[in-house]
Structure 1
Amino acid sequence: MTFFPDAAVPPGRLAVGVVLPSPAVRRAQKLPLAEAARHAEQAGLDLVAYRDAPAGEPSLDAAVALAAVAAATEHITVVSEAYAPALRPPDRAAEQIASLQYVADGRLVLGVGTGGGRARWAAAGVPYEERGRRTDATLRLLPRLLAGDGSPLPYEQGGPAAGLPPCVPMPPVWVSGNSRNTVRRAARLGDGWYPALAPPAEVAAGTVHLAELAAAFGRPAPSVVVGTLGALGTDPDLPTRTELATDLATAYGSTAERRAEVPVTGDAREAAEHLHSYCGAGVSRVVMTFAGGDWRHQVELLAEVRGLVG
């Protein structure tokens, strides 16, 4: 297997990627998932991501979707956004991750989260209050499971692993979320911290805390990857930054003022200047979700932005 490093970014360059379209967008725009991934790769983007069960909307199983994406592309980094390993038994999570890493030829980045409502965790038989502890335990187990170590797993009921996946390199782990617990998990167990929809000043403060915690754990500071929202171009039908900030405030119970610096809008130069504000916060990668417009065209505009921030 050829191993691709963690979306290697030359010093001083911001890597730019995109969250793949939801089933609703793909259906409305007649855009198959594999075609969307290939379009992002051919446009020159660095990353494509697929979110594990977004709240409030139907979604494909993340492992199935990412396998299709990996098989349809050749060199772009494939990111599982907010994959929840604690919802699966550790050996099952290892099997899925190893299979994805194998199909992606080493291009997988494991974005890990503990999100979703209580009903999702209850359906998996995982107490909601234990999601963090189980996530940490699985992250500690994964390197040896992916290396082929079949020693017994620390299930409550005991017993050995059900089966071993093919041996593959452990993918880089980006810990998704904005909470202090997430920053701590990233510092202790992650290769990257992946906050979403946070303004640059909040990301900068989190980056300082992340570096301090990592140093206390005797680890190098993880990289910082930001998830943001965009509507690129000058089409008058696109939502404005103010409208998007208001929508975010309503969805997340905050204020439009706090969210005002999150949405990326306007032409390529304006959007590039906006993304440069994250560079000052220590960010090395940005992954954008589109909030409107034709998805293919938005990717092409984002590729122009990438050229300007490179």
Structure 2
Amino acid sequence: MSVEIGVILPTSTPDPTKPILGDVRDSARYAEEVGLDSVWSTDHLIASAPMLDSSVVLATAAAVTERITVGYNVMLLALRPVAWAAKQISTLQLVSNNRLVLGVGTGNPAHGDIGWRAAGVDFTQRGRLTDEALAVLRDLVAGKAATVRPDLEVTLSPGSAVPPIFVAGNGPRAHRRAARYGDGWATIGMSPEEVRKSLEQINELADGKQLKATVIAPQLEGDQVEQLAAYEAAGTERVIIPPTGDWHDDYDQAADLRSRYQER
């Protein structure tokens, strides 16, 4: 099976009368038990709904599982000092036994800029700051010397294996960022044909690299196995099934789809 199937951990809820934020341990364990490939956390300081801290969530998920991949989808890298982000990433790699995948993005404007202002970061500069952070992130995570300010070179210890990094976003600047800094590219809600066209554009810029996609899929209707095959043919390596309500049901359905796709 070449397309991995992942799910999003219950880190956020739009309905405070139906809290699910205490279910991280149970949901991570259950995702592994039913055979899913990965679990993911979203990342915001202040969002349009209550949201848990992504690094704590992923550390918790890693602590109660043995096999499953844990990942950021996506980390708002520019929201943090890059050295601090690198420390979190390398620590997660070490405590998870190298099961981390790092998605990086610049944030959804739908959540507004209040979280960025609270962190002291200029929302309008988040693209530039993300590029600057990505330029030094691999060295920092690996425990190599890196310049984090013009007058400051630092080395973090202990370093770790650098996790696979995918860069999210659909515009030309995001495509250039993925081509330059990413091992892969991520998007949300695109059809297989849209994914194929975007990857063609990105790989033309990627200096010989052949990036694949991680896709938070739209609701898959009709022949779901056929749709997964279309995503694979378009260059997708991971499909993340979006939440629809009860995470138990979502995970069961995702695991069933994975099984049917594997047996096709």
Of 37, 48, 61, which aligns to 1:69? 61
SS at the partner of 2:196?
A: helix
Higher Cα Rg, which structure: 1
SS at the partner of 1:45?
A: coil
Q: Tell me if structure 2 keeps the 8 A contact 1:200–1:278.
A: yes
Matched, 1:295 2:251: no
Q: Tell me the CA shift for residue 160 of structure 1.
A: 4.5
Task: Name 1:273's counterpart in structure 2.
Answer: 226
- List aligned pairs for 1:1-310, cutoff 5 A: 13-24=2-13, 28=19, 32-53=23-44, 55-116=47-108, 117-150=112-145, 152-154=147-149, 158-161=151-154, 164-214=156-206, 218-228=207-217, 262-265=218-221, 270-292=223-245, 294-310=246-262
Find the aligned partners of 2:88 and 2:224 in 1 and give their Cα distance: 36
Q: Tell me the CA shift for residue 44 of structure 1.
A: 0.5
Quick one: which amino acid aligns to residue 227 of structure 2?
A: H
User: How many aligned positions are there?
Assistant: 256
Identical pairs, percent:
39
Find the aligned partners of 1:201 and 1:23 in 2 and give their Cα distance: 30
Find the aligned partners of 2:21 and 2:81 in 1 and give their Cα distance: 36
Q: Tell me if structure 2 keeps the 8 A contact 1:50–1:80.
A: yes
Find the aligned partners of 1:111 and 1:97 in 2 and give their Cα distance: 11
SS at the partner of 2:31?
A: helix
TM-score (norm 1): 0.76
TM-score (norm 2): 0.89
Q: Tell me if structure 2 keeps the 8 A contact 1:94–1:165.
A: no
Gaps of 5+ in 2: none
Gaps of 5+ in 1: 1-9, 229-261
SS at the partner of 2:205?
A: helix
**Deviation readout 1:8-61 (Å, 9 max, x if unpaired):** xx5xx2111111123438954696201101101111111111110284111111
What's the C-alpha RMSD, in Å, of the aligned pairs?
Answer: 2.2
List structure 1 runs of 4+ shifted beyond 6 angstroms.
Answer: none
Find the aligned partners of 1:175 and 1:145 in 2 and give their Cα distance: 18
SS at the partner of 2:149?
A: coil
The worse-fitting range, judged by mean Cα deviation, of 73-82 and 123-132 is 123-132
Q: Tell me if structure 2 keeps the 8 A contact 1:188–1:219.
A: no
